[in-house]
Amino acid sequence: MRLSTAFIHNRMNRLMVAAALALFCCHCSNKPVVYHSDKLDRGTIQISVDESFKPVIDAQIKVFESSFPDAHIIAHYKPEAECLKDLLVDSIRMVIVTRQLQSSEEQRLKDALSFIPVQGRIAYDAVAVIVNKQSKDSILEVSDVKSLLNGTGTLKLRPVLDGLTATSTVRYALDSILKGQELGKTVTAATSSQGVIDYVAGNPDAVGFVGVSWIGNPEDSVHVRLQKKVTIASLRCKICDSSVYVKPNQVNIATLQYPLVRGLHYILKENYEGLGSGFANFLIYERGQLIFRRAYLWPARMQFEVRSAGINE
């Protein structure tokens, strides 16, 4: 399928979220949402997570549940806009997405729930640009990326994104790369990040956009296999004085040298110390932050030094 209407879908999804919040508020009883069946380290909750971050959040949940055997986190992976709509679903305790709530959204949720959900940045991620192994175009300017997405470029590459509607990668492409311009008619949609990688691996003229947590870890055997199927493109450094091209590795995310960096945020719909708070605490403190670091994202809540190193022969 083509994504010629993705821009419209993206804007419609935002309007639908706002309308749903407003409608929900009209019928709310102004009573606070309270859960009593779980504690910081026990119970069962459901969360909605941007599909782009499935590998690293799966790792977080695995370690958390192994540390607290009576705790169970059930994650639903879906496009970002669907995660935000789930803030209205009683059974969903937390969402993990690439943006914070806007002030208007906070107010509507406060009217509906009688409290404002807790939110915070937990890591920094990057959008990786990937090309087929046979492609000669693996060193790109940001302007090349923009022209590929809006259909004005001269490079003979076909862009593919990770969804049909407002996924976080589609939203990032529209808001941060295209600055509100519409996606070109040549843009193709896969149904997931894995679908993007498979499509690029099978089509020599394809260029894909995926979260780096799907493919950027050189110590993960799955990522290593995927890196053998496609090439991660280098983009011109965002802040360098000279013509330096960089990949979305950890140091380039931390120093903002890679130009396509975005944040990862949690939004917790809980007004007491329940299991959602316990999992949020795990994500923002040492063990969770080290898991983000091991996944080759950049931790947002712990200070790590980036040092230059040399090898003396």
- SS (HEC) of the chain: CECCCHHHHHHHHHHHHHHHHHHHHHCCCCCCCCCCCCECCEEEEEEEEEHHHHHHHHHHHHHHHHHCCCEEEEEEEECHHHHHHHHHCCCEEEEEECCCCCHHHHHHHHHHHCCCCEEEEEEEEEEEEEEECCCCCCEECHHHHHHHHHCCCCCCCEEEECCCCCCHHHHHHHHHHCCCCCCCCCCEECCCHHHHHHHHHHCCCEEEEEEHHHCCCCCCHHHHHHHHHEEECEEECCCCCCCCEECCCHHHHHCCCCCCEEEEEEEECCCCCCHHHHHHHHHHCHHHHHHHHHCCCEECCCCCCCCCCCCCC
CA–CA distance, 74 with 44 (Å, rounded to integer): 7
Whether 59 and 172 map to the same domain: the answer is no
The per-residue pLDDT for range 67-90, each reduced to its tens digit, is 999 999 999 999 999 999 999 898
CA angle 262, 143, 201 (to 5 degrees): 70
Q: How far is CA 127 from the centre of its chain?
A: 8
Task: Specify whether 20 is located in the same domain as 132.
Answer: no
Total number of domains in the chain: 2
At 120-154, the pLDDT tens digits run: 999 999 999 999 999 999 999 999 999 999 999 88
Provide the domain limits for residue 111: 7-124+262-299
| Domain assignment of residue 180, yes or no | yes
Please tell me whether residues 116 and 130 are part of one structural domain: no
Virtual torsion, Cα 97, 79, 229, 221, nearest 10 deg: 50
Half-sphere exposure of 108 (CA within 13 A, CB side): 20
Question: What's the pLDDT score for residue 25?
Answer: 45
**Is 206 among the domain residues?**
yes
pLDDT at 73: 98
Q: Is 138 in the same domain as 115? A: no
Q: Which two tokens stand for residue 179?
A: 């600055």
Look at residue 2 and tell me whether its pLDDT is greater than 90. Answer: no
Are 96 and 198 in contact by the 8 Å Cβ rule? The answer is no
Predicted local confidence at residue 27, as pLDDT: 44
Residue 311 inside a domain? The answer is no
- 119 with 134, same domain: the answer is no
Buried b (16+ CB within 10 A) or exposed e, 180-213: eebbbebbbbbebbbbbbbbbbebeebbbbbbbb
58, part of any domain? yes
User: Do 237 and 271 lie in a common domain?
Assistant: no
For residues 250 and 269, state if they share a domain: no
Same structural domain, 120 and 222: no
**Same domain (yes/no): 99, 137:** no
Cα distance between residue 237 and residue 261, in whole Å? 12
Average pLDDT, rounded, for the chain: 86
Q: Is residue 305 part of a domain?
A: no
DSSP bridge pairs for 42: 39
Type of residue numbered 228: K
For the stretch 150-172, pLDDT in tens is: 999 889 999 999 875 678 999 99
Q: Dihedrals φ, ψ of 78, to 5°?
A: -160, 175
Render pLDDT for 10-67 as a digit per residue (tens, 0 to 9): 444 554 554 444 444 444 444 445 556 899 999 999 999 999 999 999 999 999 999 9
Residues 267 and 246 in one domain: no
Q: Are residues 146 and 135 in the same domain?
A: yes
Task: Tell me whether residue 310 is in a domain.
Answer: no
Q: Is 200 inside any structural domain? A: yes
CA–CA gap between residue 92 and residue 90 (Å, rounded):
6
Percent of the chain residues past pLDDT 90, beyond the cut: 65
243 and 269, same structural domain?
no
- CATH number of the domain to which 35 belongs: 3.40.190.10
- Residue 65 inside a domain? The answer is yes
54 φψ region: left (φ > 0), alpha (ψ -120 to 50), beta (else): alpha
